[in-house]
Amino acid sequence: MPSSLFLSSGNLLADRRYDFGRDLQLRGDLEAAADLMAQAAELEPGFASAWFALGDLREVLGQRAEAIVAFTRAREADPEDRHGARMRLMRLGAENIAAMPPGYVRALFDQYAPRFDTALVHDLDYRGPQVLREAVLTACEGATLPAHFNRAIDLGCGTGLAAREFASLVDEFIGVDLSPGMIEQARATGLYARLDVIDMLQGLRGESDASAALIIAADAFVYVPDLRDLLRESARVLIPRGLLAFTVETHSGDGVVLGRGLRYAHSADDMRDAVSGVGLKLFAMTPVSTRTEAGKAVPGLVVTAGKA
């Protein structure tokens, strides 16, 4: 399906070519759609949406080299890279795995915010918060920790699904998310003492040493390729015997890969090394799926770790 993000070219004729091309794409006439997107981009060379749509079509048509050219032009046309052209270039092997452009993440979730809960829970059978709660309670029992937390940080809090699940276990919740649209939805829950529109790492860096008893991240770390800085800051912010719990997607190979869903998947060995490398004690790392895609369970891990 074509991207729902549209950045007007400012040229009515070019925009109309884009709209006609999108209609043809939805009808399955990909060659004709690609021709119209190319015409739109030719009319307005700085038309990021047309270049991105053209890249998407070229990729589906098996024209890898042409797709790379189009995605490169899309990224050049929009310095914020709100379509995520760099992500597509990484997936095509034209660029090395790297952090997601913040503009892309913000635009993605701002669009998604109004229908986020319905799309995840009902369409994708999402159960990340429930998985996290079960893992936290199991970790507390195994490490003889109290299953109640005076202050918790919800990284990538989204609309507040995790806070709803943990409400009976936490006295004060701090929420962090890069998307203003998501933060607006989370604020409506009334469950957070504070909500910050900020990157997860920067959010943690703004917290004092030993200031949180619990840090959770429900499917938020799938948007970060290298988790070591996040884990290191989490270890600093946790109180002694504090708990970190998060979910990630995984794969059977080594290191980190970018999946078809444009989310990072981390190997189990990579997770063990990352956790131990920042001085946290790994309590458990359990295979679990928190969502489905195309009717199939997406492989994942739920990780709990503690601060000595």
70-125 per-position pLDDT tens digit: 999 999 999 999 999 999 999 999 999 999 999 999 998 888 777 776 767 666 78
Q: What is the pLDDT of residues 224-268, one digit of tens each?
A: 999 999 999 999 999 999 999 999 999 999 999 998 889 999 999
pLDDT score at 1: 38
CATH code 3.40.50.150 region(s) in the chain? 115-306
**Are the C-beta atoms of 270 and 243 separated by less than 8 Å?**
no
What is the pLDDT averaged over residues 164-175? 97
Contact of 221 with 271, CB cutoff 8 Å: no
Tens digit of each residue's pLDDT (9 = 90 or more) over 112-149: 777 776 767 666 788 999 999 999 999 999 988 899 99
Question: What pLDDT is stored for residue 307 in this prediction?
Answer: 85
Report the greatest alpha carbon distance in the chain: 67
pLDDT of 299 strictly over 90: yes
- At residue 261, the pLDDT reads 87
Reported for 72-77, long-range contacts at CB under 8 A and 24+ positions apart, including other chains, are 73/41, 73/45, 74/48, 74/49, 77/45, 77/46, 77/47, 77/48, 77/51
Q: List where CATH 1.25.40.10 sits in the chain.
A: 12-96
Check: CATH 3.40.50.300 for 12-96? no
Q: Which CATH architecture has domain 115-306?
A: 3-Layer(aba) Sandwich (3.40)
Confidence of residue 2 (pLDDT cuts 50, 70, 90): very low
Q: What mean pLDDT comes out for the span 273-278?
A: 95
